[in-house]
Structures are given as structure tokens and as C-alpha cells.
Structure 1
Amino acid sequence: MSLAMRPDCKRCGADLPAEAPGAFICSFECTYCAACAEALDDVCMTCGGELVDRPTRARKFHADHPPSAKRQFQG
């Protein structure tokens, strides 16, 4: 089972492409940009879990393992 690779920051809505570095996730895959993770002191605002670097997914794998298109920002 692969990560959902959510496309945006849960806190500010910034785009976070699966193939790009700079995203942070908790164990429930809540996803944040680097600026929001830093502002939250690397603690998920939803569950209180630790935020860690999300790995990237090479574009060549997107067809067989597509990143999520469902945006999570509720702005």
C-alpha cells in the first residue's frame, strides 16, 4: 500500500506535488508545507502527531500509483 500523496497543505492550501520535496506528513498522512510544519513546530494540528518529511514519488510511477487529487484544505 502506498502513501496517498495528498496534493495540498492542510493548513494553507499550498500545492504539494507528489514528485516535489518540501511536504511533511504525520502518521495519518495529514500533509503540510514546510512553512506550516515549521509554524506548527512539527506537530500535526489535527492529531498532535509528529510531522516528518514526506518522501517524493517519481513521475514514472504516477500512472500505476497515482497521487491523490482530493484536496484537504478547507480554507
Structure 2
Amino acid sequence: MLALRPTCEHCDTALPPASGQARICSFECTFCADCADTLLGNVCPNCGGGFTPRPVRPASDRKGGNYLGKYPASAERKHRPVDLAAHAALRRSLDGVPPQDR
């Protein structure tokens, strides 16, 4: 189950469970849309993969008890600003490689 981390790992912007601005990679590294798209260029600084919008967990029980109240979002913040020089090198090494092929 997705952790739904509460903030952007780079800039620490709040990303509540219903946020449409949250982006995740396949390892659930979590960034805001601005950092993921602009600063990071759709390259996760932790794994090199691409980002996708994080799904929103239903706030109310619509079926089978699968909702935010039963499965709350994580409160664990992972604020670890990206080393932009190291990230630039990673981006260069992946230049021309589509996210699905990384």
C-alpha cells in the first residue's frame, strides 16, 4: 500500500493525501510537481526512474473499508534536498532514455 508521504523530499512542500501535486517514482520517492517536472526533469534523484502523479486514496468508505480513515497517510517526512550538481550528472547520463526504459 502506498505510504502517501506528507511532503516533497526536496523542498519540503506539504503534500496532503488528496494533493494533485504529488509525484512518485516506483520506489515511492515523493516530490512536488514543480520539483519533479522542473528541477529534476522527470528523473528521480534516488533511483533514476521517472515520476507519475500519486493516486489519491478515497477519503470516505465507498466500498470494503478501503479508505483514508482505515489506511491513513504516513506522517514520516523525508526531507533530503537534492544535490543539484550530482543530479545534473545523473540526468546527463540518462539523456535520451525514456522513463519506461530506465
Aligned partner of 2:90 in structure 1 is none
Task: Quote the residue 2:15 is aligned against.
Answer: 16
**Shift of residue 74 of structure 1?**
3.5
Select the structure of larger CA radius of gyration.
2
- Deviation of 1:63 (Å): 1.6
Shift of 1:72: 0.7
Structure 2 residue ranges without an equivalent (≥5): 61-66, 82-102
Equivalent residues, number:
74
Aligned with 2:71 (options 54, 61, 65): 65
Mapping 1:27-46, distance limit 5 Å: 27-38=26-37, 39-46=39-46
Q: What does the per-residue CA deviation read over 1:31-74, in whole Å, with 9 as the maximum and x for residues that have no partner?
A: 00011001211110111111111111122222211110000113
What's the TM-score, normalizing by structure 1? 0.90
In the superposition, the TM-score normalised over structure 2's length comes to 0.68
CA RMSD after TM alignment: 1.2
Runs of 4+ in 1 over 4 A off after TM superposition: none
| More helix as a share of residues | 2
* Unmatched tracts of structure 1, length 5 or more: none
Distance (Å, rounded) in 2 between the aligned partners of 1:33 and 1:74? 13
Find the residue that maps to 1:42 and give its secondary structure: coil
Residue aligned with 2:34, SS: helix
Percent identical among aligned pairs is 45
Q: Distance in 1 between matches of 2:53 and 2:73?
A: 16
